Amino acid sequence: MQKALLSVAIIAMVAGSANAAVVYSRTAPIGPASRVNFGNFAGSPDDGVPASTVGQVHWEDVGLDQALIAGAPALEVTKITIAIRRSGTAPANSVNLFWSQYNAAATNTVDLLGAPVQPGGALNSVGSINLPARATTGFGTELYSIGNGVTPLFTTGLVYGLYTNTNIGGFGLGLQFGNNTPDAAGVTSPSGWVITPDSGQTVGTSANLLWVYDPQQVGFSGPGLGAFNGFGVASGNSMYLIIEGNAVPTPGALAIAGLGGLLAARRRR
Protein backbone atom coordinates (compact mmCIF):
# COMPACT_ATOMS: atom_id res chain seq x y z
CA MET A 1 0.00 0.00 0.00
CA GLN A 2 2.86 2.41 0.73
CA LYS A 3 4.22 1.86 -2.79
CA ALA A 4 0.83 2.65 -4.26
CA LEU A 5 0.47 5.89 -2.30
CA LEU A 6 3.99 6.90 -3.27
CA SER A 7 3.15 6.31 -6.93
CA VAL A 8 0.09 8.58 -6.68
CA ALA A 9 2.16 11.32 -5.00
CA ILE A 10 4.84 11.21 -7.68
CA ILE A 11 2.26 11.44 -10.50
CA ALA A 12 0.61 14.47 -8.89
CA MET A 13 3.98 16.16 -8.37
CA VAL A 14 5.13 15.60 -11.96
CA ALA A 15 1.82 16.89 -13.33
CA GLY A 16 2.30 20.18 -11.52
CA SER A 17 5.94 21.22 -11.77
CA ALA A 18 8.73 19.50 -13.71
CA ASN A 19 9.72 19.81 -17.36
CA ALA A 20 8.12 23.18 -18.08
CA ALA A 21 7.66 23.95 -21.78
CA VAL A 22 7.43 27.16 -23.79
CA VAL A 23 3.69 27.81 -23.94
CA TYR A 24 3.82 31.34 -25.38
CA SER A 25 6.49 32.91 -27.57
CA ARG A 26 6.20 36.25 -29.39
CA THR A 27 9.67 37.07 -30.64
CA ALA A 28 11.31 38.65 -33.66
CA PRO A 29 14.82 39.65 -34.77
CA ILE A 30 16.15 41.88 -32.00
CA GLY A 31 18.10 44.30 -34.14
CA PRO A 32 16.48 47.68 -34.84
CA ALA A 33 13.18 47.52 -32.99
CA SER A 34 10.21 49.58 -31.91
CA ARG A 35 9.64 50.01 -28.18
CA VAL A 36 7.00 51.40 -25.86
CA ASN A 37 7.11 53.10 -22.47
CA PHE A 38 4.32 55.47 -21.47
CA GLY A 39 6.27 56.59 -18.40
CA ASN A 40 4.51 58.29 -15.49
CA PHE A 41 0.98 59.56 -16.04
CA ALA A 42 1.26 63.35 -16.44
CA GLY A 43 -2.10 64.12 -14.86
CA SER A 44 -5.17 65.83 -16.25
CA PRO A 45 -5.69 69.33 -14.77
CA ASP A 46 -9.00 69.79 -16.61
CA ASP A 47 -10.40 66.73 -14.88
CA GLY A 48 -8.68 67.26 -11.55
CA VAL A 49 -6.58 64.11 -11.88
CA PRO A 50 -3.10 64.54 -10.33
CA ALA A 51 0.15 63.41 -11.91
CA SER A 52 1.54 60.05 -10.83
CA THR A 53 4.88 59.40 -9.17
CA VAL A 54 5.19 55.82 -10.45
CA GLY A 55 5.36 54.36 -13.94
CA GLN A 56 2.27 53.04 -15.65
CA VAL A 57 1.90 49.27 -16.04
CA HIS A 58 1.86 48.03 -19.64
CA TRP A 59 -0.38 44.96 -19.94
CA GLU A 60 -0.09 42.37 -22.71
CA ASP A 61 -2.65 39.63 -23.28
CA VAL A 62 -1.16 36.13 -23.28
CA GLY A 63 -3.23 33.75 -25.44
CA LEU A 64 -2.28 30.09 -25.08
CA ASP A 65 -2.80 27.48 -27.79
CA GLN A 66 -5.17 24.59 -27.08
CA ALA A 67 -2.62 22.13 -28.45
CA LEU A 68 -0.15 23.04 -25.68
CA ILE A 69 -2.48 23.34 -22.71
CA ALA A 70 -5.24 20.86 -23.66
CA GLY A 71 -8.03 23.01 -22.29
CA ALA A 72 -6.48 23.21 -18.80
CA PRO A 73 -8.24 25.65 -16.45
CA ALA A 74 -4.97 27.07 -15.08
CA LEU A 75 -1.30 27.59 -15.89
CA GLU A 76 1.71 27.30 -13.60
CA VAL A 77 4.29 29.83 -14.87
CA THR A 78 7.94 29.00 -14.21
CA LYS A 79 9.90 31.49 -16.37
CA ILE A 80 9.28 34.80 -18.18
CA THR A 81 11.62 36.35 -20.76
CA ILE A 82 11.26 39.92 -22.04
CA ALA A 83 13.20 42.16 -24.44
CA ILE A 84 13.99 45.75 -23.45
CA ARG A 85 15.30 48.32 -25.95
CA ARG A 86 17.54 50.90 -24.24
CA SER A 87 19.44 54.03 -25.22
CA GLY A 88 23.23 54.08 -25.14
CA THR A 89 23.34 56.06 -21.88
CA ALA A 90 20.22 54.66 -20.21
CA PRO A 91 20.51 54.91 -16.42
CA ALA A 92 20.15 51.90 -14.15
CA ASN A 93 16.54 50.82 -13.97
CA SER A 94 14.25 48.06 -12.78
CA VAL A 95 11.38 46.23 -14.42
CA ASN A 96 8.50 45.17 -12.19
CA LEU A 97 6.36 42.31 -13.51
CA PHE A 98 2.72 41.61 -12.61
CA TRP A 99 0.13 39.03 -13.57
CA SER A 100 -3.64 39.07 -13.63
CA GLN A 101 -6.35 36.59 -14.41
CA TYR A 102 -8.67 37.91 -17.09
CA ASN A 103 -11.92 39.57 -16.14
CA ALA A 104 -14.40 36.67 -16.06
CA ALA A 105 -17.20 39.02 -17.21
CA ALA A 106 -15.35 40.04 -20.39
CA THR A 107 -17.09 39.28 -23.67
CA ASN A 108 -14.36 40.22 -26.16
CA THR A 109 -10.64 40.88 -26.37
CA VAL A 110 -11.02 44.63 -25.77
CA ASP A 111 -12.34 43.85 -22.28
CA LEU A 112 -9.80 41.14 -21.48
CA LEU A 113 -8.34 43.08 -18.59
CA GLY A 114 -11.59 44.59 -17.37
CA ALA A 115 -11.06 48.16 -18.63
CA PRO A 116 -11.59 50.72 -17.21
CA VAL A 117 -11.14 49.05 -13.83
CA GLN A 118 -8.24 47.20 -12.28
CA PRO A 119 -7.57 43.89 -14.06
CA GLY A 120 -9.39 40.97 -12.51
CA GLY A 121 -9.14 42.46 -9.00
CA ALA A 122 -5.65 42.32 -7.56
CA LEU A 123 -2.39 43.60 -9.05
CA ASN A 124 -0.35 40.43 -8.47
CA SER A 125 3.42 40.87 -8.29
CA VAL A 126 5.72 38.41 -10.05
CA GLY A 127 8.99 40.12 -9.03
CA SER A 128 11.55 42.62 -10.31
CA ILE A 129 14.50 42.53 -12.71
CA ASN A 130 17.39 44.99 -12.35
CA LEU A 131 18.74 46.68 -15.49
CA PRO A 132 22.34 47.98 -15.18
CA ALA A 133 23.31 51.42 -16.48
CA ARG A 134 24.53 51.54 -20.08
CA ALA A 135 27.53 53.46 -21.38
CA THR A 136 27.78 52.87 -25.11
CA THR A 137 26.73 54.36 -28.43
CA GLY A 138 23.24 54.03 -29.80
CA PHE A 139 20.32 51.92 -28.76
CA GLY A 140 20.56 48.22 -27.98
CA THR A 141 18.11 45.42 -27.24
CA GLU A 142 18.65 43.29 -24.14
CA LEU A 143 16.96 40.06 -23.03
CA TYR A 144 16.05 39.52 -19.37
CA SER A 145 14.41 36.61 -17.58
CA ILE A 146 12.83 35.88 -14.23
CA GLY A 147 12.37 32.30 -12.99
CA ASN A 148 14.40 29.14 -13.63
CA GLY A 149 11.88 27.16 -15.68
CA VAL A 150 11.24 24.71 -12.84
CA THR A 151 10.15 26.50 -9.66
CA PRO A 152 6.66 28.04 -10.02
CA LEU A 153 6.50 31.84 -10.07
CA PHE A 154 2.69 31.87 -9.87
CA THR A 155 -0.39 29.97 -11.00
CA THR A 156 -3.14 31.78 -12.88
CA GLY A 157 -6.59 30.72 -13.98
CA LEU A 158 -7.19 30.76 -17.74
CA VAL A 159 -10.25 32.33 -19.35
CA TYR A 160 -11.52 30.90 -22.65
CA GLY A 161 -13.81 32.13 -25.40
CA LEU A 162 -12.52 35.70 -25.85
CA TYR A 163 -10.44 35.21 -29.00
CA THR A 164 -11.64 34.32 -32.49
CA ASN A 165 -10.49 30.78 -31.72
CA THR A 166 -12.54 29.94 -28.63
CA ASN A 167 -10.09 27.17 -27.68
CA ILE A 168 -7.51 29.82 -26.75
CA GLY A 169 -7.15 30.37 -23.00
CA GLY A 170 -5.22 33.23 -21.49
CA PHE A 171 -4.22 35.69 -18.80
CA GLY A 172 -2.55 39.11 -18.54
CA LEU A 173 1.14 39.94 -17.99
CA GLY A 174 2.10 43.47 -16.88
CA LEU A 175 5.42 45.32 -17.09
CA GLN A 176 6.30 48.54 -15.24
CA PHE A 177 9.54 50.50 -15.42
CA GLY A 178 10.74 51.55 -11.98
CA ASN A 179 12.64 54.60 -13.23
CA ASN A 180 11.59 56.93 -16.04
CA THR A 181 14.40 59.47 -15.67
CA PRO A 182 15.75 60.79 -19.01
CA ASP A 183 19.24 59.68 -19.99
CA ALA A 184 22.32 61.88 -20.36
CA ALA A 185 21.38 62.69 -23.96
CA GLY A 186 17.90 63.86 -22.94
CA VAL A 187 15.99 60.83 -24.24
CA THR A 188 12.79 61.00 -22.19
CA SER A 189 12.08 57.24 -22.22
CA PRO A 190 15.50 55.59 -22.43
CA SER A 191 14.06 52.10 -21.82
CA GLY A 192 11.08 50.49 -23.57
CA TRP A 193 9.39 47.11 -24.00
CA VAL A 194 10.16 45.77 -27.49
CA ILE A 195 7.25 45.53 -29.96
CA THR A 196 7.47 42.54 -32.30
CA PRO A 197 5.69 41.74 -35.58
CA ASP A 198 3.26 38.83 -35.51
CA SER A 199 4.56 37.39 -38.77
CA GLY A 200 6.30 34.06 -38.23
CA GLN A 201 5.05 33.70 -34.65
CA THR A 202 3.66 30.25 -34.02
CA VAL A 203 3.33 29.81 -30.24
CA GLY A 204 0.32 31.60 -28.79
CA THR A 205 -1.81 34.47 -29.99
CA SER A 206 -2.33 38.16 -29.20
CA ALA A 207 -5.23 40.60 -29.48
CA ASN A 208 -2.90 43.30 -30.91
CA LEU A 209 -3.77 45.53 -27.97
CA LEU A 210 -1.77 47.08 -25.17
CA TRP A 211 -3.50 48.07 -21.93
CA VAL A 212 -1.96 50.85 -19.84
CA TYR A 213 -2.83 50.91 -16.16
CA ASP A 214 -1.85 53.44 -13.50
CA PRO A 215 -1.97 51.95 -9.99
CA GLN A 216 -2.26 55.45 -8.49
CA GLN A 217 -5.33 56.43 -10.50
CA VAL A 218 -7.87 53.76 -9.58
CA GLY A 219 -11.35 55.18 -10.07
CA PHE A 220 -10.51 57.43 -13.02
CA SER A 221 -11.00 56.38 -16.61
CA GLY A 222 -11.38 57.84 -20.04
CA PRO A 223 -9.20 59.10 -22.91
CA GLY A 224 -6.07 60.76 -21.53
CA LEU A 225 -6.82 59.76 -17.95
CA GLY A 226 -4.67 57.33 -16.02
CA ALA A 227 -6.76 54.44 -14.76
CA PHE A 228 -6.92 51.72 -17.39
CA ASN A 229 -6.96 52.34 -21.11
CA GLY A 230 -6.57 50.09 -24.15
CA PHE A 231 -4.22 51.19 -26.91
CA GLY A 232 -3.95 49.56 -30.29
CA VAL A 233 -0.48 48.28 -31.06
CA ALA A 234 0.07 48.55 -34.81
CA SER A 235 -1.94 45.83 -36.54
CA GLY A 236 -0.16 42.48 -36.55
CA ASN A 237 2.14 43.35 -33.64
CA SER A 238 2.52 42.28 -30.02
CA MET A 239 5.08 42.63 -27.22
CA TYR A 240 8.27 40.56 -27.02
CA LEU A 241 7.45 37.89 -24.46
CA ILE A 242 8.26 34.22 -23.81
CA ILE A 243 6.34 32.27 -21.16
CA GLU A 244 7.41 28.86 -19.88
CA GLY A 245 5.17 26.77 -17.68
CA ASN A 246 2.93 23.78 -17.12
CA ALA A 247 -0.76 23.36 -17.79
CA VAL A 248 -2.59 22.56 -14.55
CA PRO A 249 -5.27 19.92 -15.25
CA THR A 250 -8.60 19.73 -13.49
CA PRO A 251 -8.71 17.89 -10.14
CA GLY A 252 -10.65 15.12 -11.89
CA ALA A 253 -7.83 14.60 -14.41
CA LEU A 254 -5.28 14.38 -11.59
CA ALA A 255 -7.47 11.89 -9.76
CA ILE A 256 -7.65 9.70 -12.85
CA ALA A 257 -3.85 9.87 -13.24
CA GLY A 258 -3.46 8.94 -9.59
CA LEU A 259 -5.86 6.02 -9.96
CA GLY A 260 -3.81 4.79 -12.91
CA GLY A 261 -0.70 4.82 -10.74
CA LEU A 262 -2.51 3.02 -7.96
CA LEU A 263 -3.72 0.26 -10.30
CA ALA A 264 -0.25 -0.13 -11.81
CA ALA A 265 1.25 -0.50 -8.36
CA ARG A 266 -1.34 -3.12 -7.42
CA ARG A 267 -0.53 -5.09 -10.59
CA ARG A 268 3.19 -5.01 -9.74
CA ARG A 269 2.45 -6.41 -6.29
pLDDT in tens, 126-139: 999 999 999 999 99
Least-confidence region, from 88-92, 121-125, 151-155, 244-248: 121-125
Pick from 5, 226, 13, 20: nearest CA to 115: 226
The answer to whether 85 touches 140, Cβ cutoff 8 Å, is: yes
**Residue 200: band (very low, low, confident or very high) from pLDDT cuts 50, 70, 90:** low
The more confident residue out of 248 and 164 is: 248
pTM of the model: 0.82
254: helix, strand or coil: helix
**pLDDT at site 198:** 67
More confident residue, 10 or 161: 161
In whole angstroms, what is the distance from residue 138 CA to residue 11 CA?
Answer: 51
pLDDT of 17 above 50: no
Task: State the pLDDT confidence band at 161, using cuts at 50, 70 and 90.
Answer: confident
Q: pLDDT band for 48, please (50, 70, 90 cuts).
A: confident
Q: How many domains does the chain have?
A: 1
The pLDDT tens digits of the residues spanning 162-179 come to 777 778 888 989 999 999
CB of 213 closer than 8 Å to CB of 119: yes
Residue 222: name the closest of 106, 107, 117 by CA.
117
152 pLDDT higher than 70: yes
Query: What Å distances lie between residue 232 and 51, 60, 237, 238, 242, CA to CA?
Result: 23, 11, 9, 10, 21
The parent domain of residue 254 ranges over: 2-268
